[in-house]
Structure 1
Amino acid sequence: MDIHDKSLAGQGRKKIEWAAQSMPVLTAIKDRFSREQPLAGKRLAACLHVTTETAVLMQTLKAAGADVHLCASNPLSTKDDVAASLVVDDGIDVNAIHGEDRNTYYRHIHAVLDAQPHLTMDDGADLVNTVHSQRRDLMETILAGTEETTTGVIRLRAMAKQGVLEYPIIAVNDAATKHLFDNRYGTGQSTIDGILRATNRLIAGSHFVVAGYGWCGRGVAMRAAGMGARVIITETDPVRALEAVMDGYQVMPMAQAAPIGDFFCSVTGDTRVITHAHIQAMKDGAILCNAGHFNVEIDLEALAAMAITRDVIRDNLEAFTLDDGRRIHLLGEGRLVNLAAAEGHPSSVMDMSFANQALCSAYLVREAARLNNRVYSVPEAIDAEIAQLKLGGMGIHIDNLTKEQRQYLNSYDMGT
């Protein structure tokens, strides 16, 4: 265990309870898991954002019988009071401190792996990568794992393609009840929230450049447009670019958008999306931020090298003054702005994402022996169950297919 201050536990407990009120799906699963104990005797290592919503997931996994060990997947997303409450009130092993340096970050990853887990739960694939590169002694113990993010799934699929992935992983990110809601509505709202908290700038009337039009980019663009911004999309995928055009946005290369934009938000999961050349073309006062998992989307080394001075103006806002006097502003050190400068996704969205994590963990305990060493989609039955539970938690009911309708959908001879 390595946290900032145990005395913060009381404050963290109240925040966790507040989050749980908006997480009826995970609460229902926790109640069921408490009775069924599907993770009894299993050790679980999780590398996730240490937030209030994550705390509710950790409580659910412990209620299921798991021995849970948690570390942070991002140095700036940890809520120290939440970490304290998990340790003091729930007896969960937590290794996470807000603002920890890179060495501490990886020391904490090794600390949760020292528990010799049967299951891994990842957000960005740093945990799995560490197992494969430095902790191969754990391969005989680990049954399987889950991955939460687009970035992590990309890394893991690359490992599987190259034949180096040595245990099965479920891509929680690919569940419909995750990416259609968490990535779009969660990232959309929380990214704008982070930008507003860090800058207190008016979005209406501005040119807002979104790099990447995946589900996260769609969400950010939708929310920026809803606040009155003139949204510009940059893309490398022609289908996504076409979709952005059809959705009513301007689409152009980043080189063309650079001198126009007031706000720039990268949401691609790739590296050096905003480069030295782009920064050199930007107007005085341009604001840069990143909503992708790793802080590689903006060329931070180039930005630092271009600056003659750099000053912290507000919390999570740094001004880089170039030799011609232009000021380029960076939010949250180029890390996930929605977690560095705000509180991450709303609890009601994370309810579905973490319900996938919980149910997939139980599924893996049952099925891991029959799975190959590759990346799997979330089983459709789990996705449907979560959607049904979420609707129920919202007090919404839907129609059921009649026997005749089911028969029609499964036939081929009942046409015109």
Structure 2
Amino acid sequence: MSDIADRSLAYEGVKRIEWADRSMPVLRQIRERFAAERPLDGLKVAACMHITTETAGLIRTLQAGGASVALAASNPLSTQDDTAAALVEEYGAEVFARAGTDREGYYAHIHQALETGPDFVLDDGCDLVNTLHTDRTDLLGTVKAGCEQTTTGVIRLHQMAREGALKFPVVAVNDTDTKHMFDNRYGTGQSTLDGIVRATNTLLAGKTVVIAGFGYCGRGLAERARGLGARVVVTEIDPVKALDATMQGFAVLPMAEAAVEGDVFITVTGNRDVVNGDHLAVMKDGAILANSGHFDVEIDVRALSDMAVEVHHGIRPQTDEYVLADGRRLVLLAEGRLVNLAAAEGHPAAVMDMSFADQALTCAWLAASHASLSPAVHDVPKEIDTEVARLKLASMSVSIDLLTPDQEDYLHSWRIGS
């Protein structure tokens, strides 16, 4: 039995799901294909994902393929209660999620989703897979395979695999080219700044924006912040990424130095304590702190709370002000959780069209291929990535060249010289 906040919100949820669906043409095509081919017939899927209108498109696609789906939230602050209601009342999914639930409720919902005895699992951050391998080992024998949607989750899965702890194959959907390019770079880049602006109504032009991490997410953020007129400073631990940022014209500094200069701080590293107490101690009055990494560990919120003599909660939606002993005020957004989903609506639907198309096609591939895969982290087959890109280009009315037979021969022969 589902556990959601308000079933009467289903009508509003359906309207918003249908609106998002208009911007997801690739997933719509896959849904039609799944309805005809039924590649997931009779399979049970348990998912731990953000409960958004875009996720609803994926759930409906899996159902069209014949799967029954139980869904828990991967972040309490991103749950859209109207979407949850629509999925239950109109689309027949089981949903265990309420906006703003506490840590105990969050894990209770993951356990409820797992109680369905899934054949496949979809995760966004590895909390569901982690729960399976710690608290619900009794279910491991029935899980055939899984998918992971985010960088943080893939990092955790590789650690499990290295230690021999991972008991079934998991595909790193996060690592496909189409997912990196659209979701991480264009999606995170736009939606994170959207969340910051919605929460604070700050003008980014003329501000110094410090971005911790220059992976795909950090690159997208840096490009868009610069486009809005901000001076961008990047902090990094990877020399190659730091060099890339430098060559693109961004300032690169250690966080200890950037902390003094920044007006807005955004963390996208997947690691903890990226902004720590020492950094907080030297920041400007009014500095804004936002995290767009998956877990709420990148900004040391505990240190911030210990330093504060007053905390003004909710001075704006998802905006808390911490007053320090010297009178400086530091502004924390979304409790240090994912600011793009807590203070805004997450990635635009056109972005998630790509990510969830990858996810849906990978599920179908796993249904046919899981028995041949070892308990390890696997890449999405290249042909799936290529197919998603091809469908997306077609939906945008973009055509590309095709190789001629002579060109094919040239690329596959070593005998042809200059």
TM-score, with structure 1 as normaliser: 1.00
After TM superposition, the structure 1 = structure 2 runs for residues 253-264 of structure 1, keeping only pairs within 5 Å, are 253-264=254-265
1:369-395 superposed Cα distances (whole Å, 9 cap, x missing partner): 000010001100000000000011111
1:170-207 C-alpha deviation (Å, 9 max, x unpaired): 00000001011110000000000000000001000000
| Offset, 1:396 | 1.0
Is 1:368 matched up with 2:331? no
Q: Which residue of 2 aligns with 1:121?
A: 122
Task: Tell me how far apart the structure 2 counterparts of residues 70 and 204 of structure 1 sit (CA, whole Å).
Answer: 40
The CA deviation at 1:76 is: 0.2
Q: Hey, what does 1:349 align to over in structure 2? A: 351
Residue in 2 aligned with 1:219?
Answer: 220
Q: What amino acid maps onto 1:104 in structure 2? A: G
- 2:387 maps to 1:404: no
**Cα separation, 1, equivalents of 2:68 and 2:317:** 37
| Alpha-carbon offset, residue 413 of structure 1 | 1.9
Partner of 1:7: 8
Supply the distance in 2 between the matched residues of 1:140 and 1:271 (Cα, whole angstroms). 33
Aligned AA (1:13): V
* SS, match of residue 308 in structure 1: strand
* Alignment partners' CA distance in 2, 1:145 and 1:409: 36
SS in 2 for 1:397: coil
Structure 2 counterpart of 1:413 = 415
Q: Secondary structure at the match of 1:288?
A: strand
Q: Which runs of 5+ in 1 are unaligned?
A: none
Partner of 1:332: 334
Cα distance in 1 for partners of 2:259, 2:33 equals 52
Are 2:203 and 1:202 equivalent residues in the alignment? yes
> Are 2:107 and 1:75 equivalent residues in the alignment?
no
Provide, for residues 36-78 of structure 1, a one-character-per-residue CA deviation record: whole Å limited to 9, x for no partner.
Answer: 1100010000000000000010000001000100010001000
Partner of 1:16: 17
* 1:378 aligned partner: 380
Displacement of 1:140: 1.2
SS at match of 2:269: coil
Q: Once the 2 structures are TM-superposed, how far is the Cα of residue 412 of structure 1 from its aligned partner?
A: 1.0
Deviations 1:250-270 (A, max 9, x none): 001000000100000000000
Q: How many Å separate the matches in 1 of 2:401 and 2:97?
A: 45
Cα offset for 1:414? 1.6
Correspondence for 1:276? 277
Query: Following superposition of structure 1 onto structure 2, how do residues 148-297 of structure 1 map, counting pairs within 5 Å?
Result: 148-297=149-298
Whole-Å Cα distance in 2 between the matches of residues 244 and 263 of structure 1? 18
Q: Kindly tell me the number of residue pairs found equivalent between the two proteins.
A: 416
Q: Secondary structure at the match of 2:133?
A: helix
Distance in 2 (alpha carbons) for counterparts of 1:61 and 1:263: 40
Q: Match for 1:71: what amino acid?
A: A
Q: Which runs of 4+ in 1 moved over 2 A?
A: none
Distance, in Å, in 2 between the alignment partners of 1:147 and 1:164 is 16
Supply the AA of the counterpart residue of 2:189.
G
CA–CA distance in 1 between the matches of 2:365 and 2:140?
20
1:137-156 to structure 2, matched below 5 A, reads 137-156=138-157
SS at match of 1:413: coil
How far residue 415 of structure 1 moved from its aligned partner, in angstroms, is 2.3
SS at match of 1:338: helix
Q: 1:41 maps to which residue?
A: 42
How far apart in 2 are the matches of 1:173 and 1:411?
34
Secondary structure, counterpart of 2:388 in structure 1: helix
* Identity over aligned pairs, percent: 58
Aligned mates of 1:80, 1:97 — CA distance in 2: 6
| Residue type at the aligned position of 2:260 | P
What is the TM-score of this pair, normalised by structure 2? Answer: 0.99
* Distance in 2 separating the partners of 1:181 and 1:242: 23
Distance in 2 between residues matched to 1:172 and 1:331, nearest whole Å:
28
Q: Which amino acid aligns with 2:363?
A: S
Matches of 1:362 and 1:137, distance apart in 2: 25
